[in-house]
């Protein structure tokens, strides 16, 4: 059957395949890594295309003053294979070469990574830091990914039926496909239409300001237009050239990454003339990577389920102690929160209701472990991290912060906490797959109705809903309402159930696993990709 399916090249700026492979920053990369692993597991015809980042994203540590600081290191990876292929992309009137490496080391479909760190290259550090630097370097990175990626696949002799752009970073690949068709004699519009039949697009960012754009003049200066005129660029991406708008106009079909996000994305981009349809295909996770084998069942009794969970929880508590020096009590309620420290995720929302939870923290009845990493240039995100560190110092028995958030931390916490807390500002969380990982490990979600949770939530059955689906007009009111709702569900439902109704807690754990196991797996997601995107 796989031989009859469209052959897909999946383009993404980052890939989270393994903690030792520092090629990811957050959820976008984790999704991409899980996608390639799922493709390999299911024998699906997919290859990945990305960049080999010399220094990865950032290592972020906490200084003695409680403030986060960034450190960068050069990484070498002995498991990468030299394909012997080098491609050239003309950037700022220089021929920049990109070496192509193959990674198939982590049970993933083949991943081809382009690397400009070649002696004598005029722009060797284009692939230096993931999401590093500013406008011109970002365009250069996107030129290597998109333009160089198409050329690399062709040089490798890999046939492609569908190009899947995971986020707008890869949109310049569409311009390269148009250029090639025009070079073969097609008109601009003929080339554009033919390209659209080959491209699908996944949009992730439900905040207009978070969708990258570049001045047309910058694209011309960099050479990213590939001979297209200003008018042709504007027809594709507008002015300034918006990478998401370009993706929507270059693709035959697009998807949002949860049902709610599909609605949000269609509403956001409804004014874009000539865009493709945006469908909703909810993300899924690679269960072998994220679900502890002991939590996969079957369980002969609730006691067996609890014993398995407690074994994992004790290991997580040991992990937290090694990382932070804080030793939690395995018998007490353990709440986890680990994500990028983006302001909309509101990592520290629970401390807006500090008065209500102070006694629980001081008595150790609730224990909270946080982890998160802010973008090096995000001062607001860094202040959030600093606040979490301050709270850990205020409540040293019951709050811990793990620095330098990564895949290892994410896996440990989503496996071994009792409750997984999620409180973004609805509807700004596109999906949020950490909650899926927790749910399949029997860790009960307590979440705002955002991202994937509205599709899964059965309040008091497989987790808890914080608040409702009302979005107030002001951010201040939204934060106040959601903090109050979080305090209510924690004090009136979560804490009493954990300490006084263990049978209900165990029934909820079982329901959490069973209600999410198939529905939010990467296997289901990939089936929908082929049926609803690639073969559309």
- Determine whether 48 is exposed, middle or buried from the number of CB atoms within 10 Å of its CB (0-12, 13-18, 19+): buried
pLDDT at 301: 96
Clarify whether residues 279 and 348 are in a common domain. no
229-258 confidence digits (pLDDT tens): 999 999 999 999 999 999 999 999 999 999
pLDDT at 2: 58
% residues pLDDT > 70 (the chain) = 99
Alpha helices by DSSP H, listed for 252-301, are: 259-268, 287-290
**Residue 25 DSSP one-character state:** -
4-36 confidence digits (pLDDT tens): 899 999 999 999 999 999 999 999 999 999 999
pLDDT at 410: 97
Clarify whether residues 164 and 208 are in a common domain. yes
Compute the average pLDDT of residues 292-310. 95
| Helices 407-416, 302-324: inter-axial angle, 10-degree rounding | 140
Q: Report the domain count for the chain.
A: 2
342-378 confidence digits (pLDDT tens): 999 999 999 999 999 999 999 999 999 999 999 999 9
Compute the average pLDDT of residues 67-77. 95
446-469 confidence digits (pLDDT tens): 999 999 999 999 999 999 999 999
325-336: buried (b, 16+ CB within 10 Å) or exposed (e) per residue? ebebebebbbbb
Half-sphere exposure of 78 (CA within 13 A, CB side): 0
Inform me whether the pLDDT recorded for 183 exceeds 70.
Answer: yes
Inform me whether the pLDDT recorded for 1 exceeds 60.
Answer: no
pLDDT at 209: 79
Q: pTM of the prediction?
A: 0.96
Clarify whether residues 205 and 351 are in a common domain. no
Query: CA nearest 247: which of 280, 278, 226?
Result: 278
Inform me whether the pLDDT recorded for 3 exceeds 90.
Answer: no
The three-class DSSP label of residue 274 is: coil
Clarify whether residues 318 and 216 are in a common domain. no
Most confident of 2-16, 121-135, 275-289: 275-289
Clarify whether residues 395 and 490 are in a common domain. yes
Give the CATH number of the domain where residue 301 resides.
Answer: 3.40.50.2000
Inform me whether the pLDDT recorded for 55 exceeds 90.
Answer: yes
Clarify whether residues 241 and 385 are in a common domain. no
| Helices 302-324, 502-516: inter-axial angle, 10-degree rounding | 90
Q: What backbone torsions phi and psi does residue 515 show, to the nearest 5 degrees?
A: -80, -15
Compute the average pLDDT of residues 217-222. 98
Distance of alpha carbon 166 from alpha carbon 32, whole angstroms = 8
503-535 confidence digits (pLDDT tens): 999 999 999 999 999 999 999 999 999 999 999
Clarify whether residues 123 and 35 are in a common domain. yes
Q: Tokens 């311009």 correspond to what residue? A: 175
pLDDT at 152: 98
Clarify whether residues 415 and 339 are in a common domain. yes
Inform me whether the pLDDT recorded for 210 exceeds 90.
Answer: no
Compute the average pLDDT of residues 487-511. 98
Query: CA nearest 400: which of 430, 366, 434?
Result: 366
Clarify whether residues 339 and 235 are in a common domain. no
Cα-to-chain-centroid distance, residue 218: 28
Pairing label, strands 46-51, 8-11: parallel
Query: CA nearest 38: which of 267, 286, 344, 270?
Result: 286
Clarify whether residues 279 and 291 are in a common domain. no
The three-class DSSP label of residue 404 is: coil
Clarify whether residues 212 and 303 are in a common domain. no
Cβ atoms < 10 Å from Cβ of 90: 14
Confidence of residue 133 (pLDDT cuts 50, 70, 90): confident
Distance of alpha carbon 403 from alpha carbon 68, whole angstroms = 8
In 124-225, at which residue ranges do the beta strands (DSSP E only) sit? 162-166, 199-202, 213-214
Clarify whether residues 274 and 314 are in a common domain. no
Q: Tokens 């949009």 correspond to what residue? A: 203
Compute the average pLDDT of residues 164-170. 97
Parent domain of 375: 287-519
Provide the mean pLDDT of the chain.
96
Q: How is residue 405 written in tokens?
A: 């958030």
DSSP 210-268: GS-EE-HHHHHHHTTTTT--HHHHHHHHTTTEEHHHHHHHH-SEEEESSHHHHHHHHHH
Distance of alpha carbon 471 from alpha carbon 448, whole angstroms = 11
**Across the chain, how many H-helices and E-strands are there?**
20, 19
Inform me whether the pLDDT recorded for 297 exceeds 90.
Answer: no
């Amino acid at each position: 059957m796989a031989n009859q399916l469209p052959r897909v090249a999946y383009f993404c700026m980052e890939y989270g395949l393994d903690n030792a492979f520092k090629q990811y920053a957050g959820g976008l990369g984790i999704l991409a890594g899980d996608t390639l692993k799922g493709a390999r597991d299911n024998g699906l015809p997919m290859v990945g295309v990305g960049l080999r980042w010399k220094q990865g994203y950032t290592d972020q540590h906490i200084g003695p003053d409680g403030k986060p600081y960034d450190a960068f290191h050069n990484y070498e990876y002995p498991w990468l294979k030299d394909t012997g292929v080098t491609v050239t992309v003309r950037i700022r009137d220089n021929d920049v070469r990109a070496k192509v490496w193959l990674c198939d080391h982590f049970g993933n479909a083949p991943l081809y990574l382009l690397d400009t760190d070649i002696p004598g290259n005029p722009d060797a550090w284009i692939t230096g830091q993931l999401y590093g630097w500013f406008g011109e370097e970002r365009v250069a990175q996107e030129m290597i990914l998109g333009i160089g990626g198409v050329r690399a696949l062709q040089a490798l002799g890999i046939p492609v039926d569908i190009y899947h752009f995971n986020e707008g970073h890869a949109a310049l690949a569409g311009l390269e496909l148009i250029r090639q068709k025009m070079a073969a004699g097609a008109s601009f519009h003929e080339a554009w239409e033919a390209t659209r039949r080959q491209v699908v697009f996944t949009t992730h960012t439900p905040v207009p300001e978070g969708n990258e754009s570049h001045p047309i003049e910058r694209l011309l200066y960099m050479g990213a237009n590939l001979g297209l005129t200003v008018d042709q660029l504007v027809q594709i991406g507008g002015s300034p050239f918006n990478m998401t708008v370009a993706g929507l106009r270059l693709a035959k079909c697009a998807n949002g990454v949860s049902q709610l996000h599909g609605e949000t994305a269609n509403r956001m981009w409804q004014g874009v003339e000539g865009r493709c349809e945006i469908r909703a295909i909810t993300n899924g996770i690679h269960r072998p990577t994220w679900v502890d084998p002991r939590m996969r069942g079957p369980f002969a009794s609730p006691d067996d389920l609890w014993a398995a969970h407690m074994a994992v929880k004790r290991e997580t508590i040991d992990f937290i102690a090694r990382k932070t020096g804080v030793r939690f009590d395995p018998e007490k309620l353990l709440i986890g929160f680990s994500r990028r420290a983006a302001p909309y995720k509101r990592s520290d929302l629970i401390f807006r209701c500090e008065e209500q939870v102070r006694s629980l923290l001081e008595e150790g009845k609730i224990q909270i472990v946080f982890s998160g990493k802010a973008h090096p240039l995000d001062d607001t995100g860094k202040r959030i991290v600093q606040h979490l560190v301050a709270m850990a110092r205020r409540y040293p028995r019951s709050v811990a912060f793990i620095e330098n958030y990564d895949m290892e931390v994410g896996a440990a916490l989503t496996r071994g906490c009792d409750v997984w807390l999620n409180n973004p500002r609805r509807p700004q969380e596109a999906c949020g797959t950490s909650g899926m990982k927790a749910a399949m490990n029997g860790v009960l979600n307590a979440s705002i109705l955002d991202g994937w949770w509205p599709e899964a939530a059965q309040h008091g059955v497989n987790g808890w809903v914080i608040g409702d689906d009302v979005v107030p007009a002001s951010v201040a009111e939204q934060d106040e309402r959601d903090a109050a709702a979080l305090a209510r569900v924690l004090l009136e439902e979560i804490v009493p159930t954990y300490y006084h109704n263990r049978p209900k807690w165990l029934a909820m754990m079982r329901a959490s696993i069973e209600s999410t196991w198939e529905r939010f797996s990467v296997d289901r997601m990939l089936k929908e990709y082929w049926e609803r995107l690639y073969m559309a």
